Structure 1
Amino acid sequence: MPRRRVARLVAAMAGVVVLAACAGQGGRTGAAGTDGELTVALQFPPRAAYAFDADDGARLQSLGVAETLTTVDDAVQPAPGLATSWEQTADPRTWRFVLRQGVTFHDGSPLTPDAVVTALGHIAGVTAPPRSIRGIGFEIAADGADAVRITTAEPDPVVPLRMSSGNLGILAPAAYAGEAQPSVIRTGTGPYVLDTVNGTDSAVLVRNEDYWGTKAGAARVTVRYVPDPQSRALALQAGDVQFAEGLPVASLDQLRSAGVDVAEYPGARTIELLLNQSAAPFSDLRVRQAVTKAIDRPVLAAQVLSGAAAPAADLFGAAVPWGETAPPPGADVDGAKALLAEAGYGPGRPLQVRLWTFPNRPEMPVLAGAIQSMLARAGIGVEVTVGDYAAQEPEVLAGRFDMYLNSRSYLSDHADATSTLTSDYTCGGSYNIDHYCSAAYDALIDRLPTVTDTAERRQLFAEAARLLTADAVGVMVVHPLNTAGSRGVSGFRPDPLGVRPVLPPLSRTDA
């Protein structure tokens, strides 16, 4: 990665810590910045009218509209949100959460234990509950005038982290009246009120003047959903918006020259080349190792993606405390050829495979083409197919593929790696595209539900990642960097985990 990009990345991460220290917790008052209005361009529109069971809760969380019982601090530990404290009871399956006092919903109704039970009881009862509580036997009940009790089928040490998931946002009781999808208009508790919605095109937020904590920095925000990254960059450069996320790397220097403040920072995401181990050729460890050796991950990150990613040494990267930050080795083409020869492949019997990916993230087809060229140098012929993810997913889950280039958050929808390590890599995992099955790996993951010590859990996460690397389960290619830009705005706080409100700290400096 170029030195200047590394320097900017370090500075951005330092900013996370400094801003977090300034933000504080609980009982916060006073307005930040001016009363100016903001227009912002965001990358991903709501999937289903801001429905929590369609992962739209994360968007409401980032907008600062809906809040959860807990949030996550910079050490990736649970921190107070709508709950100020929590404890595991004498029954280890039950946690007691004490609610913050004096909180009102945007419709004026108070936050009460019954309101929390209504909200979380609703989302737990939908056909497809959020991943953070799916399959854990989630139950909730009021406990006196100021608390709720959450019970799971088995003792669960990460219930407080689970409660930080944006898809577990708490809405006013009126939101759940009737049989329709809960209404998110003026029913949250956050620093911004969702005032109007225009489908997947835009939304308008207004400041919640009765917010329990630090007031939002702008009186009004117009949110534009702009899927095309170049269009977001052009809107920012032209001054049509004051903040934009997900900027194309090719535009960053031009934006800086135009006076835009640009941030680049790690995200909890890995692009992985998944290898189907349910059939030849990738049922052979030597072939998987050969593919790993043939791919030059530092080149993919620094040159093919122009420094918009860090090369991945294993599943977890710099966004989390247990991530591996040392770079992986470059390509070893001769070593790859030797392993292929051991497996019976060579000039007389060339290995030919299919690589699938999708265009929903623009870097994916680019990486697929570069990987195709790198594997060709080792004697592996690759046919690349770029298609719709929704059509590909059932095929790859059924094992009807060779290689699949995928982009995946490794924290699911709450800041603990257990869910991803289980669903993606255990023998019975629901998203085990690699079709990897290891008794040793499963035994390691089976220990996590009983481990309460944070350091020990993180050690197990790192150990699991090392085992995946040793078994050449797939090629962890790169960890993409997040990008954002602002002009005439202060207060942006990079959030590598993607779990904290983005818009409320922003305020106009040119208004």
Structure 2
Amino acid sequence: MRVPARLVPLIAVTAASALLTGCFSGGDGDSASGQGKRIRLAMMQPPRSGLSPLSDDAFKLSRWSTAETLVKLDADGDAEPALATEWKQSGPSWSFTLRDGVTFHDGTKLTAEAVVNSLTRAAAASPKPRILDGVDLTAKADGDKVTVTTATEDPLVPQRLSSPQLSILAAKAYRGKTVNPVGAGTGPFELTKANGTSSAALDRYDGYWGKKAKAPGIDVRFVPDGTARAAALRSGEADIVEAVPVSQAAVLDQDLITEVPMPRTNTLYLNTEKGAFKDAAVRAAAREAVDAESIVKGVYEGRADVAEGLLGPALPWAAELRKPVRRAKAGDPAGKTITLGTFTDRAELPEVAAALQQQLQKAGFKVKLDVREYANIESDALAGEFDAFILSRATVLDSGDPAAYLYSDFASDGSFNISQLADADVDKALGKAGRTPTGDARRKAVIAAEAAVLGTDAAVPMLHERVIQGDAAGVADAAHDPRERELVTADTYLK
């Protein structure tokens, strides 16, 4: 049983704080202007791919306001101008007009050729960025315009191009097989140093095309240990702390934390290709064994929402459209041995795994746990090495539209198909959702696809998370973004 947060021994907090002592002192570089205070940022997950924008590291570049895309999303998920000022569709092709006066951090100009280069590299990457799952995309330069064409007519092209994984970087970033974003973005902050998995530094870019950054720079430290991140906020060693663990929230000054409902679902993925969960009846038994409410109360201390489906309260229309799902009847799991995996980077997940182990064992399963850092477990999870895997998954992270997430995770050829699901009805529903124009019809098609997935019991949604962000008393205008795209913006500064 977990020790309540208020009873965490002082020695543990002191030891965690010691992990950060001196980390932010002096910074990694001074602002050219020498005015104002640099923002000290403690982030949860270290880079996994050298900050390549073609990986999930792209969202770090986005949250630091250093790499930008042709399009960005408003609060409702609709596309609005960024590096492109306008766009027009003609069948499977979209023409994007580029913004004038934009330069990369190395001084070179934003051109149609530079945009084509970035998009072409992303489209040819292996694996592809999730936002391009099932999409055959080509880009062509035409004066100050870029024409983006897909193999079939795609109503979501502008939203796809808002994904941080499709950031536009200078030509110098693309040398050999790697992509190096240092000094190659267009945002209000220039990435000047990337020190492996330990730290990064950014300076204000005075040649920025838009509003100049108020802060002179950002000093980033990657701190996977949640207690250490919380201790950094408590001790004043960090100004902004990403993803404060629920267990630490209660012992922090409540004025310093913000709770944001997230389009993020904590889901139990079941391997449908091999092992015990190849049998639909056994998957149904696992689904019935899960007591999500007790996990919300016990692990998340009520700071989460019990899931009714894969899409949560951050998308309020989902609950309004959802209907009961037909599922298989539960079989007898007695004697079935399964391996349940998850990762340590999100502090609550090991506790969720322990709670699920007890629930599944009570139902008759024999459960072995395998818990590691995400960087050391992702490849095994994607290769189907686990019978079951617990994942905290953002459902609209890439495009503002959940159809891309559903395709990535549950289509037969989805690049993030941890359940190894290959179901013709699911593929058909996902295809329809992807083809339907934006609006009410698309939302209904998305919910139909969600129902098709839930009917297989390949995924058991348990809860929808709320992110807890820590901002020191002197922080002004830090972003609190449900989509995890923004954090330090041009408007963010220290008083």
TM range (shorter): 0.7 to 0.9
2:340 paired residue number:
355
Kindly state the Cα deviation for residue 112 of structure 1 after the two structures are TM-superposed: 2.2
> Matches of 2:321 and 2:136 in 1, distance apart?
39
Q: Identify the match of residue 502 of structure 1 among 460, 484, 488.
A: 488
- TM-score, with structure 2 as normaliser: 0.83
Q: Which sits farther off after the overlay, 60-69 or 266-275?
A: 266-275
CA offsets 1:86-120 (integer angstroms, 9 cap, x no match): 1112xx11100011122222233322222222332
Distance 2:355 2:388 in 1: 14
Change (3 A) 1:40 1:503: farther
The reply on whether 1:474 has 2:459 as its aligned counterpart is yes
- Where 1:456 maps in the other structure, the secondary structure is helix
Cα distance, 1:380–1:325 mapped onto 2, change above 3 Å:
farther
d(CA) in 2 for partners of 1:208 and 1:67? 13
Other-structure match for 2:80: 79
Structure 1, gaps ≥5 residues long: 1-33, 330-338
TM-score (norm 1): 0.81
Note if contact 1:63-1:504 (Cα within 8 Å) is conserved in structure 2: no
Letter in 2 for 1:277: T
Q: CA deviation at 1:470?
A: 3.6
Partner Cα separation in structure 2 for residue 267 and residue 415 of structure 1: 12
The answer as to 2:301 corresponding to 1:302 is no
Are 1:203 and 2:200 matched, yes or no?
A: yes
Q: Is 1:486 the counterpart of 2:471 in the alignment?
A: yes
Question: Judging changes above 3 Å, is the alpha-carbon distance between structure 1 residues 453 and 75 closer, same or farther for their aligned structure 2 residues?
Answer: same
Q: Which residue of 2 aligns with 1:442?
A: 427
Q: CA shift at 1:350, angstroms?
A: 5.1
Q: Does 1:262 align with 2:257?
A: yes
Structure 2 CA distance for aligned equivalents of residues 186 and 388 of structure 1: 29
- Cα distance in 1 for residues equivalent to 2:407 and 2:115: 29
Aligned to 2:387: 402
On the 8 A contact 1:72/1:500 being kept in 2, the answer is no
Counterpart AA for 1:314 = G
1:274 counterpart = 2:269: yes
5 Å matches for 1:91-240? 92-133=91-132, 136-144=135-143, 146-176=144-174, 179=176, 181-240=178-237
Q: Supply the AA of the counterpart residue of 1:192.
A: F
Alpha-carbon distance between aligned partners in 2 of 1:172 and 1:471, rounded to the nearest angstrom: 44
Change (3 A) 1:157 1:251: same
**C-alpha distance in structure 1 between counterparts of 2:106 and 2:408, whole Å:** 39
Q: Which residue of structure 2 lines up, in the alignment, with residue 333 of structure 1?
A: none
Amino acid at match of 2:161: M
Give the drift of 1:149: 0.6
- Could you say which residue in structure 2 is the equivalent of 1:335? none
When structure 1 is superposed on structure 2, of 432-441 and 47-56 the one drifting more is 432-441
> 1:443 & 1:326 partners in 2: Cα distance?
19
Q: Deviations over 1:361-395 (max 9, x none)?
A: 33222112111222344444433333565676566
More displaced 10-residue stretch of structure 1: 122-131 or 153-162: 122-131
Partner of 2:301, secondary structure, is coil
Instruction: Classify the secondary structure of the residue corresponding to 1:203.
Output: strand
Paired amino acid for 1:164:
S
Q: CA offset at residue 194 of structure 1?
A: 1.6
For residues 376 and 363 of structure 1, do their structure 2 counterparts lie closer, same or farther at Cα, with a shift above 3 Å needed? same
Q: 1:425 and 1:54, CA in 2 relative to 1: closer, same or farther beyond 3 A?
A: closer
Contact residue 71 and residue 499 of structure 1 kept, 8 A: no
Measure how far apart 1:286 and its partner are: 4.0
Distance 1:327 1:235 in 2: 42
Alpha-carbon offset, residue 304 of structure 1: 2.1
**C-alpha RMSD over aligned residues:** 3.0
- C-alpha displacement of 1:479: 1.9
Distance in structure 2 (CA, Å) of the matches to 1:389 and 1:219? 33
2 CA distance for matches of 1:47 and 1:398? 18
- 1:169 & 1:399 partners in 2: Cα distance? 30
Q: CA 1:240–1:448 in 2, change beyond 3 Å: closer, same or farther?
A: same
Contact 1:318 1:325 in 2 (8 A): no
- Contact 2:261 2:313 (8 Å CA) reproduced: yes
**Who is 1:27 aligned against?**
none
Closer, same or farther: CA 350–161 of 1 in aligned 2, 3 Å: same
**Paired amino acid for 1:171:** L
2:52 equivalent to 1:56? no
- What's the counterpart of residue 308 of structure 2? 313
Q: 1:96 to 1:321 in 2, by over 3 A?
A: farther
Structure 1 residue 298: Cα displacement: 1.5
Partner SS for 1:271: strand
